[in-house]
Amino acid sequence: MSIKNFIISLSTAQERREHVTKEFERQQVEFEFFNAITPSTMDFTCAELRIGKYQSTLHPNEISCLLSHMMVWKKAVDEHLDYVAIFEDDIYLGESANEFLGSTAWIPKEHSLVKLEMFYKKIGIAINNKNISAPNHRKLLLLNEPHMGCAGYLISREVAQELLAFTINSQVLIPVDHIVFREYPKINELKIYQLSPALCVQDMILTSGKTRFPSALEDVRNVRKGKNTQKEKLPLSAKIQKECLRIWFKVKKIAINFSKLKHGTKMFKIKFR
């Protein structure tokens, strides 16, 4: 069996394409660009995917992102590809990536969805599950709760087909990572494994937000969530209140993590290497 690597990228994003091409060529990993869907081609793509009327609170840029991933899933099905690894164009690859992206020998038969990227700093993994060894001193960890982000993941053709059907039939379009790592696995009881240390990471995660590649998608996502990215100078009373809330949330988080531990989920610090 084989893996085909796709990088979703706008055809006009030359700086991003040059960056990610260097990342893959440096490790002699073969890949193919998939020209990302845009709001101007969104309706045509919906027709091609046979998506009729749908509900969504997403910005057209976010819907286009979802449709781009769906079209790669469709390619996996139409072209009878055993596995596809799907990446976004602002990632960095970890060491020995060619061992994972050039062969399926490391993928256990039942592992049809593997998360390759680091997005959260800590992830919830199953305590009682035996970790599976992988090349380059890595392991496959069973996720016990969603680890979001779709900048790097690997799926089998069967999962690609099921993801397509699930998304089309739901008639509600939500962010692609919510579908792949939360909604679809929850309904289908699909086990998702995390490669650790992670094989890739987005520039904005690696640089703690000081990214070389500003994203219009991230901007509209922040607006939809009501996030204010500009820092305001707070009066002393507001600073004290903010610090009290920070301490309260920290204590609450400790209590939540203890409860998770009792129910079989351990919080694990994920690294990129």
Ranges of each domain in the chain:
3-218
pLDDT tens digits, one per residue of 210-228: 888 876 666 666 665 666 5
- 104-115 mean pLDDT: 89
Three-class DSSP labels, 36-100: CCCHHHHHHHHHHCCCCCCECCCCHHHHHHHHHHHHHHHHHHHCCCCEEEEEECCEEECCCHHHH
Q: Helix (H, G, I), strand (E, B), or coil: what is residue 228?
A: coil
- Could you tell me if 176 and 150 are in contact, meaning their C-beta atoms sit under 8 angstroms apart? yes
Query: Does pLDDT of 231 surpass 80?
Result: no
- Which helix (H) or strand (E) element contains residue 266? strand 265-269
Q: Please tell me the class of the 3-218 domain.
A: alpha beta
Q: Out of 40-44, 55-59, 105-109, 235-239, pick the least confident.
A: 235-239
- 48-57 mean pLDDT: 92
Is the peptide bond between 197 and the residue preceding it cis, with omega within 30 degrees of 0? yes
**Which pTM value belongs to this model?**
0.86
| pLDDT bucket at 68, cuts 50 / 70 / 90 | very high
